[in-house]
Amino acid sequence: MRELSTKQKILRFMANNTVPLLFVVIIAFGVPLSGYSPTYLAGEVISRISRNTFLIVSLLIPILAGMGLNFGMTLGAMAGQIGLIFTTDWGIVGIPGILLAMIVSTPLSILLGWWCGKILNMAKGREMVTSYIIGFFMNGIYQLVVLYGMGPLIKIISPNLLLPRGYGIRNTVNLIGIRKSLDNFLMIRIGGVPIPVGTFLVIALLSVFILWFKKTKLGQDMRAVGQDMEVARAAGIRVEYTRIMSIIISTVLAGYGMIIYLHNIGTLNTYNSHMQIGMFSVAALLVGGATVASAKIRNVFLGVVLFHLMFIVSPMAGKRLIGQAQLGEYFRVFVSYGVITTSLVLYEVRKKRERGMSGLALAQDQEVTS
Amino acid sequence: MNNELGAPLLEMQHISKDYFGNEVLSDINFSLRRGEILGLVGENGAGKSTLMKILFGMDEIHQTGGYGGSIFIEGDEVRFTSPIDALASGIGMVHQEFSLLPDSTATENILLNREPLKHTLASELFGERLNTLNRESMEKIAQGAIDKLGVPLDGKMLVSEMPVGHKQFTEIARELSKEATTEMEEGLRLLVLDEPTAVLSEQEAESLLKAMRTLSSEGIAIIFISHRLQEIIDVCDTIMVMRDGRIIKTVPSEGVNVTDIAHWMVGREVNAAKRNTRTFNYEDSKVVLSIRNLWVDMPGETVRNVNLDVHDGEILGIGGMAGQGKLGIPNGVMGLFPAGGQIVFQGEELPLNQPRSLLNAGVAFVSEDRRGVGLLLDESLEWNITFTAMQIQDKFLKRYLNGLVSWRDQKAIEEETMKYVKQLEIRCVSTRQNARELSGGNQQKVCLAKAFAVTPKLLFVSEPTRGIDIGAKSLVLDALRRYNQESGTTIVMISSELEELRSVCDRIAIVNDGKVFGILPATSDSAKFGLMMVGQEVQEV
Amino acid sequence: MNAALMLTKIRQMVRSFGLPRIIIALFLFSLFILAPFFNVNVATSLSDTLNRFGMNAVLVLAMVPMIHSGCGLNFGLPLGIISGLLGATISLQVDVAGPASFWLAILFATPFALILGWGYGQLLNRVKGGEMMIATYVGFSSVAFMCIMWLLLPFNNPKMVWGFAGSGLRTTISTEGYYLHVLNDFLKIRIGNHFIFPTGMILFFTVLAFAMWAFLHTKTGTAMTAVGSNPVFARASGIDVDRIRTLSVVLSTWLGAIGILVYQQSFGFIQLYMGPFYMALPAVSAILIGGASVNKASILNVIIGTFLFQGILTMTPSVMNAMIQTDMSEVIRIVASNGMILYALTRKTEAAR
């Protein structure tokens, strides 16, 4: 291999990190425009990191197994929400409440993840769009259970949770009992910025788990399946089973992530919270420089910081710039979707370009010989 | 070796195999000693790969009714029901296509799904797969296998960054490493290498042969399948030649030369097929198509620097071993795969990579990939036959509003389709039947009809008889011959079956290693073609 | 004919038609049967169904060209809808009252549909194999982008902009005084007290559907079907696959633009901002319910599918509500429509392209 010049190196770096660099530019303009103080921004960003990281990490495992971005993580979010509804109903507060909600969500997540994995195995080659539709489909079932089943079929004790008509859960559930209980555990302040060490510890633990998981036999099998299903199958790896496992793990983690997310917010929008979460998590991960084919822990952290910094400053920046906060809000929605679109397009285009390379080599070869 | 007097390592007795009455192997007998290298040669379809599939107990064999005869390993009869059984008895195989993960290292690939593990607590709860990989031990085992092979392969190198030869070594090292990681009784005893040198450079092939000798000296027997006859002579102890499902010759390699082997490979009884008796007058016919410096990037059929002249009105055959590039020539000329070079048709240079320009000029193509390229499987026969002519030559269309609207002329389409259904005896329920529902032979006839419908000046026909029964075969070949005579259409026919080419063509070009190796009249001695196929110069007498 | 033979015949039919479709058809059928028992007026229901059919059929028709050319289900329909919205808003800005505003809206929408559709087609040609996911997000991003534009574009018709700010378009704009019911009321036929046949709207759809049918019988239309059926075959037959695909995307986008205008004239409002966001999904599931697959669709699929889908949408709230005193229509809609899409995405034969 010949050495690349510095200029080429910079160009290649920029080509491989287009999305994060674009965000740095947006933020570089947005932050001064918004006029927020650094302390305020730091506090907000820290809070967003603690709130969202767990959810985003749940996307990593299916990417490892070559199944792309798991838009079906909403299934886990639903399971987490059902866990929270029950623990709220039972009146269990604080960290035990969070733990119990996680425990309740686990079997649900496993079941949903297994089903989702099964369906995705039937739709190889278009996992992403299928997982995205699965999210919508399951939302219907979720509504059926929560809006109609809870009350008459599934006992709910607390009347505060039920709609006035006597069955179905209210549109918003107050999570006051567990609100910020994990965040406030071991909370410290550095220069006026509150840091929820408890939540950070959980996130650190999760990160270590992911890194460890990649070293296990199952992690290695997923890597093999992700690179080439047929080669993995020929070597005796159970491809379908491995893919289902990756979705189950993702779904369970998404369930936990949703519980941590909602505990930070403090209220559950019973019929809306889970729908948006997939899109925001995917966008944040991609902003961090991940692609459909590869994602690492550092992409998660970089993504969460960049994406949410943009999210925080854009309404204010819009207001200062044009006089309309609404504009900034639409802008950030546009950017979120734009990022996902760009990443998906880049992924497909790169895949194609690699195929076209061998012909060029052949032509060059011939020029040399003739 | 101390078992020199005992039972041979592998012995096959009276092996036979038929696919639904169609015999592909009959009465195969041979034996193999420890450390012996056996060269297995034969044309495509001679039965080599079926024989190996039987040895490995592949599913394909059981699903098609098993096999006859018996296999002995060191005197004990075995009947493997799956490749895993074969592996447990110490038999390994390296296939022609690589089965490697591109973004993993050599070590990871060598030990794929056989990684040594470190016990973890989590595995107690959730099962074995949560044990972590023991990287140190992995590297040790992989290095051990690489050392045994005696090649300079870096275990930490990613497969995607390897030269092709190293990929081959990785595959072989994987087989060697199996003794350390599976419940094999006593390590690898027999290794089958299927065309391992086909993709290698000369230097790489040389070091592979060296590695084979090293393995042999350690007592591992090798079955070496190759088309490179010189290599076979150089490295093998014994040479076994197969033809038409039989063993033609088993000889010690000493003293054998390439010409002998080539003779044994292709030498058939002369009356095998109806011979083309016409003598084409080349002096009076112009060159209609000339190909210069053509390269084609068709995976598995790469073409390099091909020069070829096709005369007006002739039937030119293109033959050669599979993977040597004969299929790449028509596919590249017709613009289906990326190509470069120059083609001049009827004195006019045509741009490459544009199927349209060739079709407009009157060149048609019947692809070897019927289902993938040749047919609209989910559309009617009518569409399949008339579509190309409709799109290229505006046939079967009715014009309205001064030609602004060109409407499909259903009646003309039906008539044309019926014409070919009758002429080529296409067996179908109706002309509206979907192409998917037809048998392979009838599908092939539909492909021919599609090409005839554009009334081409030059027709490329690729593997016209592949996978169709004998009746349909002769019908297809007759149709081609007749079409050439009646309408004077020049035909270039590409086929793996030399006899088929010799029965239809005027001249036959043999492609080897992506280039035209030579062109001979179809009436030449078949041994000469055999030599050319394996890349040997023919000494004209 | 013996029973066993009948059974296998029926089983074959079920397999070729798809179990989900049969369930949905039977479900709708039973709703119509049950309706009178729960004092639901069948005539009103039929009239409503027909009206909704007319509103949505063109949007469903917009799926056909892209399915034919093998670009898959057009999840990027919002892009076409945006072209329609641009046409609608510009037409209102020009402020021509009455039916003429409808035709003006179509006229203004067309160049946007052509340009956006062309760009969208070029993009989809670069991402063959991943069209559907990318189409979804192209739709979403374009809706979000237009949210910004609706705020910024210099519209000033007081019926359209926020009263207090004097700029920025409202989220919903009434079509009253412009093209409200221009098609609905054209030659409408009233039968009894409860049944109205929206002749103009149905006629408009019929004309477009016929044009589509005719197009598929021309040389170019034939090429489009072949590209969708086997793109390699089409290429080997000298077809410029990318050009045909782009044409199909432009057609789909343009039909989407027309479709939303037809929808608005009946609905009475132009919905801006996040309005078009989820409009692709009902259209996608409707054509699938009608019997289309990811790469095969016919005009008949459009008609049957739209009728079944809209029928369920009208019937479930009224009948189910009367039956169990609970409005479960939303849940049924979500499960049925997305279930149908999932079914289509997981078919093996369709995946083998």
Q: In what order do the strands lie in the sheet with B76-78?
A: B22-32, B10-19, B68-73, B76-78
CA distance B190 to B9: 8
Mean pLDDT of B116-131: 83
Who's near C59: CB < 8 A, 6+ residues apart?
C77, C81, C255, C256, C259, C260, C263, C279, C282, C283
pLDDT score for C350: 40
Q: What is the pLDDT of residues B184-234, one digit of tens each?
A: 556 788 999 988 877 777 788 888 888 899 889 888 899 999 888 888 888
Provide the 3-class DSSP secondary structure of residue C136.
Answer: helix
Cα–Cα distances in Å, from A163 out to A78, A87, A172, A174?
Answer: 19, 18, 10, 13
Q: For chain A, how far is it from start to end, CA to CA, in angstroms?
A: 24
Q: For residue C219, give the nearest of B356, B388, B390 by CB distance.
A: B390
pLDDT score for B269: 47
Give me the number of domains chain A comprises.
Answer: 1
- Local confidence band at A260 (pLDDT 50, 70, 90 cut-offs): very high
Count of CB pairs separated by less than 8 Å, B with C: 67
Q: For residue B104, give the nearest of A212, A227, A365 by CB distance.
A: A227
pLDDT score for A240: 94
pLDDT score for B3: 45
Collect all residues of chain C within an 8 Å Cβ-Cβ radius of residue A132: 133, 136
Q: What is the pLDDT of residues B381-413, one digit of tens each?
A: 999 999 999 999 888 888 888 778 888 889 999
Mean pLDDT of C56-79: 92
Give the torsion sign (CA, A354, A356, A359, A361). negative
Q: Report yes or no: A269 and A171 within 8 Å, Cβ to Cβ.
A: yes
Mean pLDDT of C256-285: 91
- As given in the structure block, the two tokens for residue C4 are 């066993």
Ramachandran region, residue B113 (left: φ > 0; alpha: ψ -120 to 50; beta: rest) = left
User: Which of A133, A153, A167, A337 has the most C C-beta neighbours within 10 Å, making it the best mutation to test the interface with C?
Assistant: A133
User: Within a domain: residue A11?
Assistant: yes
pLDDT score for B539: 57
Q: Which fold has domain C19-346?
A: ABC transporter involved in vitamin B12 uptake, BtuC (1.10.3470)
pLDDT score for A51: 92
Q: Is pLDDT of C327 > 90?
A: no
pLDDT score for B272: 44
Contact yes or no for C126 and A344 at CB 8 A: no
Whether residue C353 lies within 8 A of chain B, CB to CB, comes out as no
Q: Which range is most confident: A48-52, A312-316, C311-315?
A: A48-52
Contact yes or no for A224 and B297 at CB 8 A: no
Contact yes or no for B376 and C233 at CB 8 A: yes
Higher pLDDT, C218 or A351: C218
Mean pLDDT of A334-340: 87
Contact yes or no for B387 and C222 at CB 8 A: yes
CA distance B204 to B214: 15
Contact yes or no for A236 and B113 at CB 8 A: yes
Residues 326-355 of B with CB under 8 A from C: 334, 336, 355
Which domain CATH number covers A135? 1.10.3470
CA distance B455 to B390: 12
- Local confidence band at B271 (pLDDT 50, 70, 90 cut-offs): very low
Helices (H), A17-93: 18-34, 38-57, 60-64, 73-90
Residues 102-131 of A with CB under 8 A from C: 119, 122-126, 128-130
Whether residue A125 lies within 8 A of chain B, CB to CB, comes out as no
User: Which of B365, B376, B380 has the most C C-beta neighbours within 10 Å, making it the best mutation to test the interface with C?
Assistant: B376
Q: Report yes or no: B64 and B100 within 8 Å, Cβ to Cβ.
A: no
Cα Rg of chain C (Å, integer): 21
pLDDT score for A85: 93
pLDDT score for C175: 84
Q: Report yes or no: B425 and B475 within 8 Å, Cβ to Cβ.
A: yes
pLDDT score for B185: 57
Span of A28-32, A312-316, C14-18, C103-107 with lowest mean pLDDT: C14-18
Q: Is pLDDT of C248 > 90?
A: yes
User: Within a domain: residue A54?
Assistant: yes
Q: Which residue has the tokens 């055999």?
A: B530
Contact yes or no for A337 and C152 at CB 8 A: no
Q: For residue C217, give the nearest of B355, B358, B407 by CB distance.
A: B407
Element (H, E) at B215: helix B202-217
Average model confidence (pLDDT) across chain C: 87
Q: What is the pLDDT of residues B12-62, one digit of tens each?
A: 989 888 877 777 888 889 889 988 999 998 877 778 888 888 888 888 888
Q: Is pLDDT of B275 > 60?
A: no
Q: Is pLDDT of B541 > 50?
A: no
pLDDT score for B382: 92
Q: What is the pLDDT of residues C6-52, one digit of tens each?
A: 788 777 777 777 777 788 888 888 888 888 888 888 888 888 889 99
pLDDT score for B402: 78
Beta strand spans in B325-457 (E): 339-345, 348-350, 363-366, 397-400, 405-408
Q: Which residue has the tokens 């018709």?
A: C157
CA distance B281 to B217: 57
Mean pLDDT of C298-303: 91
pLDDT score for B389: 92
Contact yes or no for C219 and B356 at CB 8 A: no
pLDDT score for B221: 92
Q: Report yes or no: B512 and B506 within 8 Å, Cβ to Cβ.
A: no
Contact yes or no for B408 and C232 at CB 8 A: no
Query: What residue segments make up the domains of chain C, in order of their start?
Result: 19-346
Mean pLDDT of A360-367: 64
Q: Is pLDDT of A322 > 90?
A: no
Q: Is pLDDT of C75 > 50?
A: yes
Q: State the CB neighbour count (10 A cutoff) for residue A114.
A: 14
- As given in the structure block, the two tokens for residue C62 are 């917009």
Contact yes or no for A220 and B302 at CB 8 A: no
Contact yes or no for B340 and A366 at CB 8 A: yes
User: Which of B365, B391, B408 has the most C C-beta neighbours within 10 Å, making it the best mutation to test the interface with C?
Assistant: B391
Average model confidence (pLDDT) across chain B: 85
Give which of B328, B286, B276, B335 is closest to B462, Cα–Cα.
B328
- Local confidence band at C352 (pLDDT 50, 70, 90 cut-offs): very low
- Local confidence band at A159 (pLDDT 50, 70, 90 cut-offs): confident
Element (H, E) at C23: helix C19-34
Q: What is the pLDDT of residues A96-124, one digit of tens each?
A: 999 999 999 999 999 999 999 999 999 88
Q: For residue A333, give the nearest of C147, C152, C331 by CB distance.
A: C147
List B252's β-bridge partners, or say none.
B238
Q: Report yes or no: B431 and B415 within 8 Å, Cβ to Cβ.
A: no
User: Within a domain: residue A263?
Assistant: yes
Q: Is pLDDT of B270 > 50?
A: no
Q: Is pLDDT of A362 > 60?
A: yes
Q: For residue A369, give the nearest of B99, B133, B305 by CB distance.
A: B305
Q: Report yes or no: B112 and A224 within 8 Å, Cβ to Cβ.
A: yes
Q: Which subunits have 3 or more CB–CB pairs within 8 Å of chain C?
A: A, B
Give which of A77, A127, A133, A142 is closest to A105, Cα–Cα.
A77
pLDDT score for B459: 93
CA distance B41 to B251: 12
Residues in chain C: 353
User: Which of A341, A342, A349, A352 has the most C C-beta neighbours within 10 Å, making it the best mutation to test the interface with C?
Assistant: A341
CA distance A238 to A230: 11
- Local confidence band at C205 (pLDDT 50, 70, 90 cut-offs): very high
Nearest CA in chain A to C76: A341
Whether residue C351 lies within 8 A of chain B, CB to CB, comes out as no
Q: For residue B356, give the nearest of C218, C230, C238 by CB distance.
A: C238
pLDDT score for A357: 63
Q: Which residue has the tokens 């028709």?
A: C61
Average model confidence (pLDDT) across chain A: 88
- As given in the structure block, the two tokens for residue C268 are 């009475």
Higher pLDDT, B130 or C143: C143
The torsion defined by the Cα of A82, A83, A89 and A94, in degrees rounded to 10, comes to -140
Q: Which residue has the tokens 């590297």?
A: B139
User: Within a domain: residue A1?
Assistant: no
- Local confidence band at B469 (pLDDT 50, 70, 90 cut-offs): confident
Q: Report yes or no: A60 and A295 within 8 Å, Cβ to Cβ.
A: yes
Contact yes or no for B375 and C218 at CB 8 A: no
Q: Give the domain range for residue A329.
A: 6-369
Collect all residues of chain A within an 8 Å Cβ-Cβ radius of residue B304: 362, 365-366
pLDDT score for C124: 93
- Domains of chain B with bracketed CATH: 272-362+456-541 (3.40.50.300), 375-455 (no CATH)
- As given in the structure block, the two tokens for residue B204 are 């790489």
Whether residue C132 lies within 8 A of chain A, CB to CB, comes out as yes
Contact yes or no for C132 and A143 at CB 8 A: no
CA distance C118 to C253: 9
